Amino acid sequence: MNGLVLVDKPAGPSSFAVVKSLRGRYGGKVGHAGTLDPLASGLLLCLLGAATRLTRYLVGLDKQYVTEIRLGLRTSTGDGEGDVVEKTEIPSRGEIEAFVGEVELPVPRASAVKVGGERAYRLHRSGVAVEMPLRRSTIHDLRVLRYAPPLVELRLDVSSGTYVRAIADRFGGHCRTLRRLAVGPFHVEDADESRVLPPLAALPFLPERRLDDDEARLVRTGRALPGPETGPVALWHESELVAVARGRDGVLHPETVLG
């Protein structure tokens, strides 16, 4: 199997558990593009076979989430599984709605990010105190769906790498629920674990170029082609993705060849 599977991950299992399940179902190599913490549910992009090489083009896509935040109580993990560490003042609706644009937030201690080669959430569960790095993110849009203190429900459009639990912590609260609705052009309502999309369908956000027979043979051997495009370009032949090339100075250089 070779392609993209859109999965609606339930809350509870890890992203690795989803990958393991798909490996048992389809066999071969399976990976994912963008971890969801066990607490979170929603869209997980999983890649099969040679298409796992396309992960680099998917991990940087913007994300959309919906979350319910319990205001007034910070926890050690940024969610309901942690211990309450501080009682805080509840921000107004206006203060919450104003939190858009470029922000710098600490990575949550219970996240899947690696610190010194180990997952942060494992260190946290072991009682190891670590200094968590700051991460710059962009909140493109923030909509208050329901403001009923001490609860608030938000829909967030954010850049890749944004931790919603860190946003909840900035508001002096913690996430009760977290669901990922979209990753770039992909939406959770289209998730279907029984359907494998072809590799070309994994890259609808990239410009495309159709190859003739001779060009396809050249690209499969890693040879460059002349072309005016800049940045990554999906190269296809007979409806199948051959490679992703990077265009610069009038030349398309294959950087990810699928065959």
Annotated catalytic residues are 37
Residue holding tokens 């977290």? Answer: 178
Q: How far apart are CA 122 and CA 216, in angstroms?
A: 46
| Token duo for residue 66 | 């919906």
- Give the count of beta carbons closer than 10 Å to the beta carbon of residue 18: 21
Q: Which residues pair with 180 in a beta bridge?
A: 42, 65
For residues 71 and 55, give the distance between their C-alpha atoms in angstroms, rounded to a whole number.
36
Quote the tokens at residue 13.
């299992």
Instruction: In whole angstroms, give the CA distance from residue 43 to residue 5.
Output: 10
